[in-house]
Structure 1
Amino acid sequence: MTGSEWWRTAVIYQIYPRSFADANGDGVGDLPGISSRLGALRDLGVDAIWLSPFYMSPQRDGGYDVSDYCDVDPLFGTLADFDEMLRTAHELGLRVIVDIVPNHSSSDHPWFQAALAAAPGSAERARYLFRDGRGTHGELPPNNWESVFGGRAWTRVLDSDGTPGQWYLHLFDTSQPDFDWENEWVREQFRGVLRFWLDRGVDGFRVDVAHGMIKAAGLPDYIPPADGGSMGGGGTPSLEPEPAPTAPFWAQDGVHEIYRDWRTVLAGYPGERVLAAEAWVDPLSEVAKWVRPDEMHQAFNFAYLETPWSAPALRTVIDASLDAFTAVGAPSTWVLSNHDVVRHATRLALTVENPQGHGVGPTTVGLGNPAVGLRRARAASALMLALPGSSYLYQGEELGLPEVIDLPDSARQDPTWFRTNGERYGRDGCRVPLPWTAAGPSYGFGPTPASWLPQPAEWATLARDTQLGEADSTLELYTRALRLRRANELGWGSVRWLPGYPREVVAFTNGPVTVIANTGSTTVALPAGDVLLASEALTGRELPGDTTVWLRS
C-alpha cells in the first residue's frame, strides 16, 4: 500500500440520520441529535463518519430521492445545524463524509418537473432518460429492464393534452428518475453540488450507485441472473479474473470518466478530500478500476461483505482483495454491514441464501439461531478490524444489533416491500432507530416514545449504556479492537498467512499481532503469546468455534 493519506487506514462509521439520534422528539433522527452523540463515536475510536442523505426530499426512499442537493430537509434540521454538526465533529477529531446521489433525483426535483412540462426533444427532457415507447402506439416500455426495487424500470407520462406520451427510466422507484449522464449540463450541475459541500468543509463523499449513471448505447434488453443481487454483481461474489456479462445499466466504462473529472474537483481543495464508491461489481479486479490513482479513493469491498463465515472462503477473498487493490495502489475497504443489507449479526447465521436487497422477515426460511449469529458477528468484526486497509462500521453493529425481523407490515416503508407486493421484506429491518439507554422513552433515541420504525423490547438489553464498561459486551469488544488496531498500526500492515492450522481456521500475522479466527466447531490450540483481544471468553489456551483472537508474542 502506497501513500500516507488518512483514508488509507481509517475506520469510518456510517450514520443513518433518521435512525441515529432524535433531538426534537418527532421520532426521526436529525442533525442536532447527531451533534449531541458524536462524543460517543470519538470514545468508540473511529476516525470519521459517513452520513446517509439529509437533503431536501419527499422521503419516498429514505432520502435517496433528492429534491434539492444543496439544502437540508427540515426533517433533519437546517444548513446551520449541518454546519454546527460539522464543526463539532472536526473539534472531536472526526472527519465527515456525506452521501451524494448522482444516478437519479427525486421526481419532485425542479429539474424533473421542468422535464415533465417540456416537450419531447427539449433540453429539459434531455437531462433525464426519456424515450418513446415500443408498439404501435408507444404503449410498451422502451425495453425490458426491471427496477432494483421490483417491477419494470419505466413509467409513462402524459403529454400536455392528457394523452400518453414518452416513458422515463427509473432503475429504482418511479419517484427516482435516472439522469442522462451523457449530458454535459448534468455533469456541470453536479460539479457545483460537490463544490457547495466542499466549500462548507466536508471531507469527502460516498457516491451512491457509483457503478450506475452511464447506460449502454441503445439501451438493449437484459435478463439478469436468477441469483443476482438487486444492485448488480452476480449474487455470490465472483473471484474469477474475467468478469461476468455486465448489465447494460451497471459498470459501463463511461462512469470512469465522470470520476476522473470529480477527482480533479476534489484535488482543488486542501485536506485530502475523498470519494468512496458504492459499486456492486464482480470480480474484485473490476471493482479496483474505481480506485485507480486518478479516480476514486475507496470502493466498498462487497465481495468481502457477501462472503460466508467460512475460513477457505475468507482466505480466498482476502487474498483476492489485497491483490486487486494493491495492484492499483489503493487500500481495500472492508465492510460487513450497511443500511442496504441484513445486519451481519443476523446474516451470518442464515442457513439459506438471501440475495442483497431482499431482506428478512417473519416468514423467511432459514433464519438461524440469533446467539450463533451474534457470536459469528463478533468474531467476523474482530477479524475484519485486524486487516490492513480501511474499514466501515454501520451504526449499531458495535452494540451487536441484529436485524429486526418482526416489524409489522403496517410499519414497513422500504419501496421494495411495496413494489414486490410483500414478496421481499427490503431494508427496514436494519434501519430501526438505535438504543442509547435501557430506560427512558425510545431507549434514549429521543426525548419522546416516538420512533419512525418500532423498536423491539430486546433493545433495552443491547442499549449503549448497558454495555458501556462491561468487559464482555460487544461495545467494549469494538472499543478495545479499535484502540489496539491504532496502537499496533494494523491498518498500515500486511497479511502473512500462518501454515499448519485446520481448514476451518483463518490464521495470519499483521505486524506484531497474530490473528486466529476459528470458523468451525472444533476447538483449536493457541500458540504462545499474550491475548490482546478475544471475541469470546477463552478457557486456557483453547480457541473455541466461532471465535477470533489477537495475540502478541
Structure 2
Amino acid sequence: MTSPAQPAVSPSPAPAPAPAPWWRTAAIYQIYVRSFADGNGDGVGDLRGIAERLPYLRDLGVDALWLTPWYVSPMADAGYDVADYRDIDPLFGDLAEAEALLAAAHAQGLRVLVDLVPNHCSDQHPWFREALAGGPGSAARGLFWFLPGRGPEGALPPNDWVSYFGGPAWSRITEPDGSPGPWYLHMFAPEQPDLNWEHPRVRAEFEDILRFWLDRGADGFRVDVAHGLAKKPGLPDVGPDPDVTDLPYQDVAGVHRIYRDWRRIVAGYPGERVLVGEVWLPSPAQFARYLRPDELHSAFNFDFLCAPWEPAALRRVIEETFAAHAPVGAPPTWVLSNHDTIRHVTRYGRADTSFDMGDKRLGDPSDERLGRRRARAAALLTLALPGGVYVYQGDELGLPEVADLPDEVLQDPTFVRSGGADRGRDGCRVPLPWAAEAPAFGFSPPDARAEPWLPQPAGWAALAVDAQRADPDSTLSLYRAALALRRERLRGLPETLRWVPAGPDKLCFDRVGALRCLVNLGEAPVPLPAGAEVLLASGPLAGTANGGRAVPSDTAVWLAPA
C-alpha cells in the first residue's frame, strides 16, 4: 500500500541576521562644549549653540554626539571638576535646555553620549565641603581618600603618588579650628578630590546619576578615567622603579565590579544605551578586560591615536587592536584626536609623528600642508576600518593645533601645575570657525558681548565651515563624502578586513564586497590598475607615463571592489 503523495513543501527562508547594535559601527562626533558654538554671545560655547548646529552635524553624516561635561562646575579643569552631576552649569545653559537638546538631537537621528566623571568631583561638591567642615571623624571624609601624613607631625604626603597634572597627588587640609589636618588624594588638580569607590554611598550615588540621565534620554556615557576608580588596598607607594602594568592607582581589579553593575543598569533601558571608556593602559590584555561582554561596550583606542605615520607601526596597531578585541567580542574603535591631545594635522607635519601624552612637544616645527595631506589620508584609513570611529570637532575642517597661544589666555591646569613647562591642552580647544567673514568667524552671534574664550588664528578664515562647504575639494567635503560612503557601503559588514599585499610602504586592505582602501605612505606614486573605479581619494591623483592614474605620497583612495 502506497502513501498518498504529499504536497511539496518549500523550505522556510533563513531568518535575516539581526542588525548589529548601532554602537558597533557608529561614527561619533565629539563636541567640546565650550568651543563648539556660542549661542548667547558670552564667548563660550553652550547648549543653545549646539542645538542651532544640529543640522550641520546631521548633514556631516555622523551617528551620535559625545558632549564633554556640561555639569555645574567651578571650571578648575574645564568642567571635569563637577560640583553637581544632576544639573547644567549656567555657563552652558540649564537642565531644560539639556533635555530639549537631547530631544532635538534624536529628532535629527542623532544619539547623545553624556560625559561622566566618576573618578573625582570638585572641591566645591557638597560632599567635599561637608568633609572639610565636619572636622576629624566626619562621615563625609569616608567618601574620599583622607589619610594622615608621614614624617614629623604628618608634614609629608601619605605616599609617593604624583598627579597626572604634575606635582604631588596629595594636598593637606586645615581643620575648622585652624590646626593642620590630614591629606586628601587628587590624581589630577587639587580642586578634583578622588572619590573612594570602596564606599557604598559612592557606588549608590553614581548608579542614581546614571539613571537620572538615562531617564532624560541620554543614549549612554563616555566614562572619564575609566581605569582609575579603584585603588590598591592601603594605597602603597609606587616606588622608584614601578611596573607600569601594576600601578596602585589604576587598573585595580575592583574596578570591574563597578562596570558590571553599570552594564546591568544601562541594559535595563530601551534603545541600546552604551558605556564607552576612556582607558589609557600599557598593555592590550589590560585594556581588553574592560570590554568583556558584561562590562563596557567599547573604549577609545589610544594606541592608534599615538601611532606614528609609518606603515609598519600603523599596521601593527591595527592588527594588535583586532587581536585584543576578538577574545571579548568587542568592536574596535578608531580615533585620531580629542580634547586632550595635539591635533593630528600638526602632529603629522612634524619629523616625529607619534604622540605621547607626557611629552607633547608643542615646540617642534610642523609643516601644516604636509600634516593636512596626511590627516586627510588618515581620515580615509580610519573611516574604512571595521568598528566605530570618533571625529573630534574640527577634524572635519582640518584644523591645526594652535601652539602659540599667549600665556595669559591659557586655562589648562597642566600649564600652571607644570610651572609653564607643559603648555597644556588649550591649543586643541580653540573655538571653531563657522563663517569666514563674520566676527569671531561665526562662533558667536553677530551682536556678541564678548570675544571667544580663546583667540582664533586669523588664518582660520580659509578653514571656516562656510568656506569649505562651497569647495568640493575641502577637508569638510571629504569627510562628508567619506561618512556617506561608509554608511552606504560598510554598515552591516563583518568586523573584519583582508590585507592585500602592496609593499612595505603602503597599507592596503579590503572590506570584502564593499571597497578596497589603499594608503600610500611611501615617496613614489602607486599606479592604479587599469579600469580601477575610484570611489573617493584624499587628494588629487597623479598621472602615469602610459596615461593611467597613480596614488601620490601621503594619499589614500577607496576603490570599488574588482
TM-score computed with the length of structure 2 as normaliser: 0.92
Q: Percent identity?
A: 55
Q: Which position in structure 2 is the counterpart of 1:548? A: 556
Deviations 1:449-504 (A, max 9, x none): 610000000110100000003121000100010011111125734210001x2211
Contact (CA 8 Å) 1:374, 1:400: kept in 2 or not?
Answer: yes
Is 1:185 matched with 2:185? no
Question: What letter matches 2:538 in structure 1?
Answer: S
Is 1:380 matched with 2:396? no
Shift of residue 360 of structure 1? 5.0
Is 1:433 matched with 2:431? yes
Contact (CA 8 Å) 1:342, 1:429: kept in 2 or not?
Answer: yes
Question: What letter matches 1:214 in structure 2?
Answer: A
For 1:455-470, list aligned pairs within 5 A. 455-470=456-471
Question: What letter matches 1:312 in structure 2?
Answer: A
Question: What letter matches 1:463 in structure 2?
Answer: A
CA distance in 2, matches of 1:485, 1:131: 52
Question: What letter matches 2:45 in structure 1?
Answer: G
Question: What letter matches 2:463 in structure 1?
Answer: L
CA distance in 2, matches of 1:338, 1:331: 20
Secondary structure in structure 2 of the residue aligned to 1:385: helix
Q: Which position in structure 2 is the counterpart of 1:231? A: none
Contact (CA 8 Å) 1:518, 1:544: kept in 2 or not?
Answer: yes
Q: Which moved more, 1:514-523 or 1:53-62?
A: 514-523
Indicate which of 526, 529, 538 corresponds to 2:528.
526
Q: Which position in structure 1 is the counterpart of 2:73? A: 57
Secondary structure in structure 2 of the residue aligned to 1:291: coil
CA distance in 2, matches of 1:370, 1:534: 19
Deviations 1:390-434 (A, max 9, x none): 001100000000101110010100000000010001100000000
Contact (CA 8 Å) 1:388, 1:495: kept in 2 or not?
Answer: yes
Contact (CA 8 Å) 2:525, 2:542: kept in 1 or not?
Answer: no
Q: Which position in structure 1 is the counterpart of 2:504? A: 503
Deviations 1:46-91 (A, max 9, x none): 0000000010000010000000000000000011111111111000
Contact (CA 8 Å) 1:17, 1:54: kept in 2 or not?
Answer: yes
Question: What letter matches 2:475 in structure 1?
Answer: T
Shift of residue 284 of structure 1? 2.0
Q: Which position in structure 1 is the counterpart of 2:216? A: 200
CA distance in 2, matches of 1:458, 1:389: 35
Is 1:480 matched with 2:481? yes
Gapped regions of structure 1 (runs ≥ 5): 227-242
Q: Which position in structure 2 is the counterpart of 1:211? A: 227
CA distance in 2, matches of 1:29, 1:3: 36
Contact (CA 8 Å) 1:389, 1:491: kept in 2 or not?
Answer: no
CA distance in 2, matches of 1:534, 1:225: 48
Q: Which moved more, 1:392-401 or 1:539-548?
A: 539-548
Question: What letter matches 2:114 in structure 1?
Answer: V
Deviations 1:177-199 (A, max 9, x none): 00000111100000110010000
C-alpha spacing 1:123/1:492, structure 2 compared with 1 (3 Å): farther
Is 1:331 matched with 2:347? no
Contact (CA 8 Å) 1:357, 1:426: kept in 2 or not?
Answer: no
Question: What letter matches 2:382 in structure 1?
Answer: M
Question: What letter matches 1:265 in structure 2?
Answer: I
Secondary structure in structure 2 of the residue aligned to 1:488: helix
Q: Which position in structure 2 is the counterpart of 1:236? A: none
Q: Which position in structure 2 is the counterpart of 1:451? A: 452
Contact (CA 8 Å) 1:358, 1:426: kept in 2 or not?
Answer: no
CA distance in 2, matches of 1:119, 1:316: 54
For 1:252-331, list aligned pairs within 5 A. 252-331=252-331
Contact (CA 8 Å) 2:245, 2:283: kept in 1 or not?
Answer: no
Q: Which position in structure 2 is the counterpart of 1:492? A: 493
Question: What letter matches 1:196 in structure 2?
Answer: F
CA distance in 1, matches of 2:37, 2:127: 32
Question: What letter matches 1:146 in structure 2?
Answer: V
Q: Which moved more, 1:277-286 or 1:529-538?
A: 277-286
CA distance in 1, matches of 2:515, 2:407: 47
Secondary structure in structure 2 of the residue aligned to 1:12: strand
Question: What letter matches 2:213 in structure 1?
Answer: W
Deviations 1:119-170 (A, max 9, x none): 3343210000110000021000001111111111100001122111100000
CA distance in 2, matches of 1:426, 1:539: 40
Shift of residue 262 of structure 1? 0.4
Question: What letter matches 1:101 in structure 2?
Answer: V
CA distance in 2, matches of 1:527, 1:223: 58
C-alpha spacing 1:426/1:95, structure 2 compared with 1 (3 Å): same
Question: What letter matches 2:189 in structure 1?
Answer: D
For the pair shown, the structure with the greater C-alpha radius of gyration is: 2
Secondary structure in structure 1 of the residue aligned to 2:466: helix
Indicate which of 100, 104, 118 corresponds to 1:84.
100
Secondary structure in structure 2 of the residue aligned to 1:492: coil
Is 1:346 matched with 2:346? yes
Shift of residue 251 of structure 1? 1.0
Contact (CA 8 Å) 2:510, 2:517: kept in 1 or not?
Answer: yes
Secondary structure in structure 2 of the residue aligned to 1:80: helix
CA distance in 1, matches of 2:382, 2:268: 33
CA distance in 2, matches of 1:391, 1:146: 32
C-alpha spacing 1:262/1:296, structure 2 compared with 1 (3 Å): same
Shift of residue 527 of structure 1? 2.9
Contact (CA 8 Å) 1:14, 1:50: kept in 2 or not?
Answer: yes
Question: What letter matches 2:534 in structure 1?
Answer: V
CA distance in 1, matches of 2:476, 2:319: 29
* RMSD of aligned Cα (Å): 1.7
Shift of residue 521 of structure 1? 1.6
Contact (CA 8 Å) 2:19, 2:492: kept in 1 or not?
Answer: no
Question: What letter matches 1:327 in structure 2?
Answer: P
C-alpha spacing 1:412/1:155, structure 2 compared with 1 (3 Å): same
C-alpha spacing 1:212/1:445, structure 2 compared with 1 (3 Å): same
Shift of residue 350 of structure 1? 2.5
Shift of residue 359 of structure 1? 4.1
Q: Which position in structure 1 is the counterpart of 2:408? A: 410
Secondary structure in structure 1 of the residue aligned to 2:290: helix
For 1:38-57, list aligned pairs within 5 A. 38-57=54-73
Indicate which of 537, 542, 549 corresponds to 1:539.
542
Contact (CA 8 Å) 1:337, 1:344: kept in 2 or not?
Answer: yes
Contact (CA 8 Å) 1:387, 1:490: kept in 2 or not?
Answer: no
Shift of residue 37 of structure 1? 0.2
CA distance in 1, matches of 2:58, 2:244: 42
Contact (CA 8 Å) 1:342, 1:360: kept in 2 or not?
Answer: no
Contact (CA 8 Å) 2:306, 2:355: kept in 1 or not?
Answer: no
Deviations 1:310-329 (A, max 9, x none): 11111111111112112211
Question: What letter matches 2:499 in structure 1?
Answer: W
Q: Which position in structure 2 is the counterpart of 1:424? A: 422
